[in-house]
Amino acid sequence: MAKKELWKGNEAMAEAAIRAGCDAYFGYPITPQSEIPEYMSLHMPQEGRVFLQAESEVATINYLYGAGGSGKRVMTSSSSLGVSLMQEGLSWLSGAEVPCVLLNCMRGGPGLGTIQPGQADYYQMTRGGASGDHHFVCLAPGNMQEAVDMIQESFDIADQYRNPCLIVVDGLIGQMMEPIEWHEVKKRDLPPKTWAADGRKGRAEHNVIKTIFVEPEDDNEFNEHLARKFEEMKKNEVRYEKTQCDDAEIVIVAYGTPARVSLSVVRKLRAQGVKVGLFRPQTIWPYPEEALHEVAAQDSVKRILCVEMSEGQMIDDVRLSVEGQKPIDFYGKAGGVVPTVEEIAEQVEKAVKEAVR
Amino acid sequence: MTVVYQKSKGLTDVELHYCPGCHHGIAHKLIAETLEEMNAIDTAVGVCPVGCSVFADKYFSCDMFNAAHGRAPAVATAIKRTHPDQPVFTYQGDGDLASIGAAEIVHAAARGEKITTIFINNAIYGMTGGQMAPTTLIGQKTTTSPLGRTVEQAGMPMRMAEMLSTLDGVAYAERVCLTDIPNLNKAKKAIKKAFQLQMEGAGFTFVEILSTCPTNWGFSPLDANKWLKENMVPYYPLGVVKDVTKEVAK
Ligand SMILES: Cc1ncc(C[n+]2csc(CCOP(=O)(O)OP(=O)(O)O)c2C)c(N)n1
Ligand code: SF4
Ligand SMILES: [Mg+2]
């Protein structure tokens, strides 16, 4: 078994990308993720790879277009408002089918908000602010070990679908220190990048990376192709974890740090005989819709409690999954405040009372 | 039979969509010839913009990118950094380069990215129907300066070759035009020199081409040529703006 090492979240996630074979990293400093570009600035050149501090997030995402489109494994990281500036570029990467990895270490918003951890980018990540029909696999690790494992896999996911893959963490995961193990993540079978525009080198035709269509029918056909790809992602990439849901009366739905706090709530209340469970999406797109639907369908389940570090964004997906089978409560803290065990426990107890009414 | 002239292998057989008298096509030809002469069609990667040259990726026979409006220098930077031995160029209009993409071009130049930028200055937004560009001349009428551009409203037109040349990363900058054969020959030489200096690792190289847009200027092709010479050239002087190889020699 690999030995445990103590790492800071952001540095571990940067190292995970290097281990995944990231060829080039581009990024613009922003708290709470600046340790990632800092780590990359030292270690990427040591590995003979490319590091470049970008002049802006607008430029950053276009660096990804250039490096990814010419066949390289490429990554950036940013936080919330920085990611907002990348939206146009993300749409282009999607439209040109250029793989890349983008890590959003979310902070409180809107605007400058706070540098403390937040989850108010759920819409931005899963719905996006960019034009066009597009989706990205959004991996949402709940702890550091999962984060480093997922980052290593994210490059394969991006390459497999020729699509950006997003890592969605809240600032707490980036800032905390935790022991992790480095294990070999299973590699996917990936086709060679014959589409890359990296110089013809004897190829009969020139390759082009572009997003434009002249004929509406052609663009429609391309969108249908993308839609089929998104269906494949939905089929293959959904991930979630259930903790003591089988006999639960109250099921908490949470991801990232709130899920971690909720796990302590489950342990604490179970010890007191309260039948509470935790449903934790590990991908927020594709959302584990069916699995949550089934949990909500269980006879034991009386109410669902959605907990977020926002004023309620994921709750839309919870509603869409539960489809009115059971009542849904919400508890959220925004602007960088992390909900406590006591607060969430109180919400569960309230739900229990509601349930017996 | 001797072949006295043939289309460059740097171009595909796709028919160009440019308006009659538009200089975009001539600029394409000069770049394509340069790539062919430098034996670079098989290694070069070009980045075309959003603007009338949005379809340039169909016309050049080397590998191509079409970049988001203004972002070609960033795209080209990343290609060059990850493929340092290959020629990389951007082809950009004046709205693309001097307006929406001002930050990307300035920083690529400042870093001395070893790329070549071909800058098509036609003093107007061609593709979107003739709106004012940062390069539109004072008094010039466009669809968003219907009474003519004024300094009070929009400031003075930007001289990009001069502005970028203040940056140490710029190895070579020249302004040319394509109105007649002697100028065409000078333009070809400038483009070739820019690519050569790029491959020698000298730094960022920049060729500004004063170009016509007969359609949006509202002139015949010949009158457009005349207008360019009489109005653009006095404000945008032709010639080498910066050449570090000459400076070293001095
Ligand atoms: C983000 C964004 N904003 C605006 C546009 C619309 N647009 C397309 S081309 C263009 C101007 C192009 O002018 P220029 O760069 O001078 O090129 P020309 O057509 O004159 O060669 C604009 C504003 C766009 N495509 N993308
Ligand atoms: S609109 Fe102007 S720049 Fe565009 S193709 Fe026509 S003449 Fe050329
Ligand atoms: Mg123009």
Q: Domain holding A17: CATH number?
A: 3.40.50.970
The DSSP code for A72 is -
Structural domain includes residue B15 = no
Confidence grade of residue B249 (pLDDT, cut at 50, 70, 90): low
Omega before residue B73 within 30° of 0, cis: no
State the pLDDT at residue A313.
Answer: 98
CB contacts under 8 A, B 18-47 vs A, are 41-45, 47
Same-domain check for residues A106 and A121: yes
Euclidean distance between the first and the last CA atom of chain B, given in angstroms as a whole number = 48
Same-domain check for residues A126 and A221: yes
Nearest CA-CA distance, residue B122 and chain A, Å: 23
**Chain B residues within an 8 Å CB radius of A207:** 63-64
Q: Which ligand has the minimum distance to the alpha carbon of residue B49?
A: 1
Tokens of B216: 């949006």
Q: Residue A23: is its pLDDT beyond 60?
A: yes
Same-domain check for residues A214 and A122: yes
Looking at the structure of chain B, the number of domains it has is: 1
CB contact under 8 A, B58 and A208: yes
Confidence grade of residue A185 (pLDDT, cut at 50, 70, 90): confident
Ligand 3 ion: residues within 5 Å (CB) = B 93-94, 122, 126
> pLDDT tens across B156-189, in order?
999 999 999 999 999 999 999 999 999 999 999 9
Q: How far is CA A314 from CA A116, A173, A319, B132, in A?
A: 19, 19, 9, 44
Confidence grade of residue A1 (pLDDT, cut at 50, 70, 90): low
Structural domain includes residue B13 = no
Same-domain check for residues A191 and A292: no
Rounded to a whole number of angstroms, the CA Rg of chain A reads: 21
Rounded average pLDDT over A103-123 = 95
* Residue ending a domain, choose from A171, A201, A236: A236
The answer to whether residues A129 and A87 touch, using CB atoms and an 8 Å cutoff, is yes
Nearest CA-CA distance, residue A333 and chain B, Å: 37
Rounded average pLDDT over B203-214 = 98
Can you tell me which atom of ligand 1 is nearest the CA of B52? 19
The CATH number covering residue B87 comes to 3.40.50.970
Structural domain includes residue B245 = yes
Rounded average pLDDT over A26-48 = 97
As a 3-state breakdown, chain B gives helix, strand, coil percent values, each rounded to 5, of 40, 20, 40
Whole-number mean pLDDT of chain A?
Answer: 97
Q: Which residue of A has its CA nearest to B106?
A: A55
CB contact under 8 A, B104 and A207: no
The DSSP code for A282 is S
Nearest CA-CA distance, residue B66 and chain A, Å: 5
Whole-number mean pLDDT of chain B?
Answer: 97
Domain that holds residue A137: 4-236
**Angle, CA A155 vertex, CA A149 and CA A161 arms, to 5°:** 125
- Please write down the HEC assignment for all residues of A228-266: HHHHHHHHHHCCEEEECCCCCCEEEECCHHHHHHHHHHH
Any chain B CB within 8 A of the CB of A41?
Answer: no
Looking at the structure of chain A, the number of domains it has is: 2
A11 CB-contact burial (10 Å; exposed 0-12 / middle 13-18 / buried 19+): middle
Q: Which residue of B has its CA nearest to A89?
A: B68
State the pLDDT at residue A184.
Answer: 84
State the pLDDT at residue A94.
Answer: 97
Structural domain includes residue B108 = yes
Structural domain includes residue B143 = yes
Q: How far is CA B112 from CA B47, B109, B123, B199, in A?
A: 18, 5, 26, 13
**Distance separating alpha carbons of residues B102 and B95, to the nearest angstrom:** 9
State the pLDDT at residue B161.
Answer: 98
Q: Residue A85: is its pLDDT beyond 80?
A: yes
Omega before residue A192 within 30° of 0, cis: no
Q: Which of B4-8, B18-22, B95-99 has the lowest mean pLDDT?
A: B4-8
Structural domain includes residue B11 = no
Any chain A CB within 8 A of the CB of B14?
Answer: no
Confidence grade of residue A319 (pLDDT, cut at 50, 70, 90): very high
Best residue of B14, B77, B92 to probe chain A, by most A CBs closer than 10 Å: B77
Same-domain check for residues A205 and A295: no
Q: Residue A280: is its pLDDT beyond 60?
A: yes
CB contact under 8 A, B62 and A200: yes
Q: Residue B16: is its pLDDT beyond 70?
A: yes
**Chain B residues within an 8 Å CB radius of A200:** 41-43, 61-63
Enumerate the H helices of chain A as residue ranges: 9-19, 35-46, 57-69, 81-84, 87-95, 122-126, 144-161, 171-175, 216-237, 256-271, 289-297, 315-322, 341-356
The answer to whether residues B129 and B143 touch, using CB atoms and an 8 Å cutoff, is yes
Structural domain includes residue B216 = yes
Confidence grade of residue B248 (pLDDT, cut at 50, 70, 90): low
Same-domain check for residues A333 and A186: no
- For residue B66, give the H/E element and its range: strand B63-66
Rounded average pLDDT over A241-249 = 98
Same-domain check for residues A232 and A94: yes
Same-domain check for residues A288 and A222: no
Q: Which residues line ligand 2 (CB under 6 A)?
A: B 18-19, 22, 24, 52, 122, 126-127, 213-216
**Chain B residues within an 8 Å CB radius of A54:** 74
Rounded average pLDDT over B5-25 = 97
**Chain B residues within an 8 Å CB radius of A64:** 78
CB contact under 8 A, B67 and A65: yes
Q: A191 — phi, psi (to 5°)?
A: -75, 155
Q: Which residue of A has its CA nearest to B100?
A: A58
Domain that holds residue B96: 24-249
State the pLDDT at residue B250.
Answer: 53
Same-domain check for residues A30 and A12: yes
Q: Residue A158: is its pLDDT beyond 80?
A: yes
B15, B16, B17, B19, best to mutate for ligand 2 pocket (most atoms within 8 Å of CB): B19
- Out of A63, A89, A208, name the one closest to residue B57 (CB): A208
Same-domain check for residues A299 and A340: yes
- Out of A66, A207, A208, name the one closest to residue B79 (CB): A66
**DSSP per-residue string spanning A128-152:** -SSSSS---EEE--SSHHHHHHHHH
* Residue ending a domain, choose from A236, A271, A292: A236
Q: Give the three-class secondary structure for A343.
A: helix
* Residue ending a domain, choose from A184, A218, A236: A236
State the pLDDT at residue A273.
Answer: 97
Q: Residue B154: is its pLDDT beyond 90?
A: yes
CB contact under 8 A, B45 and A199: yes
Q: Residue A169: is its pLDDT beyond 90?
A: yes
Same-domain check for residues A174 and A53: yes
CB contact under 8 A, A62 and B83: no
Structural domain includes residue B54 = yes
**Distance separating alpha carbons of residues B191 and B185, to the nearest angstrom:** 10
Same-domain check for residues A311 and A344: yes
Q: Is the backbone of residue B51 left (phi > 0), alpha (psi -120 to 50) or beta?
A: left
**How many other C-beta atoms are found inside a 10 Å radius of the C-beta of residue A129?**
16
Q: Give the three-class secondary structure for A331.
A: strand
pTM of the model: 0.97
> pLDDT tens across B210-246, in order?
999 999 999 999 999 999 999 999 999 999 999 999 9
> pLDDT tens across A328-344, in order?
999 999 988 999 999 99
